[in-house]
């Protein structure tokens, strides 16, 4: 299947983002999703696990009724966040692995996503890709964005599904083959971005919430910001992003550092969300400011001719 086969005349390209847990879609690329929804594109968020093993990070939600029904609560939070962003949403239905802590770290629980069958997980994502038929797919890099076992497995599943989705011999019962045109990694937590906010806050005379984060930055870990190829302007949608974040009330403390940098300062200092173009089946020129760069031009060519 070639790029011209998958983009019908007049068709708006579609975007799919693949995440590990509910709340990841709101902390990573949410303003981008909201922008493209506002422009009339169909956007789907896929969440691999239910987030059942997530800790309660907001003291106001640390209640027995919430703890006893964590899976249901997180599903309701995800539904509200999707509504705020205007995106379609699909669960893959795998079990949250949790984040092992301690020295030595305990083993991951049996049956969890990170230890699951990669072929089964790949088929589940391929099925959604073939149904939604995205032109752009966003996932995490090989480090998972950060080394949570579910994030790393999300990368592995996404890459396997990218390879399999257009192969008619792979998962023949999962729908008609479909080829997305572009694959990106999201890179929201670059050191340069954090440093820019830190310095802007200090210049304003306020105390920076990023001091400890920068002091503890692992210098042996490459800065993902150096890999960015594509900066999507989306500051207009930062308030929508923050509303979606707050919808995940068990995970997001509204007094936390997520909200310490004023929105007008964010819009001035870093008005984009940032991505790395990994693979493109259409011609594009780097750096980009649009995830659909090259695809829009292809659509115009088809309309013209």
| Annotated binding residue 24 | yes
Which conformational region is residue 24 in: left (phi greater than 0), alpha (psi within -120 to 50 degrees), or beta? Answer: alpha
| Annotated binding residue 21 | yes
What whole-number distance in Å separates Cα of residue 297 and Cα of residue 292?
9
| Annotated binding residue 19 | no
Q: Which residues are annotated as a binding site for Zn(2+)?
A: 21, 24, 151
Residues annotated in the binding site, as ranges?
21, 24, 151
């Amino acid at each position: 299947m070639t790029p011209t086969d998958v983009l019908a005349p007049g068709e708006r390209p579609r975007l799919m983002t693949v995440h590990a847990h509910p709340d990841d879609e709101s902390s990573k690329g949410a303003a981008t999703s909201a922008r493209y929804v506002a422009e009339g594109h169909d956007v789907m968020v896929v969440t691999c696990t239910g987030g059942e093993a997530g800790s309660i990070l907001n003291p106001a939600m640390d209640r027995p009724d919430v703890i006893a029904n964590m899976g249901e609560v997180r599903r309701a939070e995800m539904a509200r966040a999707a509504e705020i962003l205007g995106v379609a949403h699909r669960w893959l239905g795998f079990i949250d692995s949790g984040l092992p802590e301690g020295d030595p770290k305990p083993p991951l629980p049996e049956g969890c996503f990170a230890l699951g069958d990669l072929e089964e997980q790949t088929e589940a994502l391929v099925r959604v890709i073939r149904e939604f038929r995205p032109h752009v797919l966003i996932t995490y890099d090989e480090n998972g964005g950060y080394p949570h076992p579910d994030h790393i497995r999300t990368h592995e599943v996404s890459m396997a599904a990218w390879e399999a989705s257009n192969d008619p011999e792979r998962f023949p019962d999962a729908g008609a083959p479909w080829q997305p045109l572009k694959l990106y990694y999201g890179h929201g937590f670059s050191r340069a971005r954090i440093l820019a906010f830190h310095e802007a806050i200090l210049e304003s005379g306020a105390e920076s919430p990023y001091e400890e984060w920068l002091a503890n930055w692992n210098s042996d870990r490459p800065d993902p910001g150096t890999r960015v190829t594509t900066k999507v302007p989306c500051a207009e949608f930062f308030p929508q992003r923050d509303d979606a974040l707050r919808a995940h009330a068990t995970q997001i403390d509204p007094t936390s550092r997520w909200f310490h940098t004023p929105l007008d300062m964010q819009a001035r200092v870093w008005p984009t969300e940032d991505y790395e173009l990994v693979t493109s089946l259409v011609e594009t020129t780097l750096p980009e400011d649009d995830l659909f760069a090259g695809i829009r031009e292809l659509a115009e060519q088809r309309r013209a001719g």
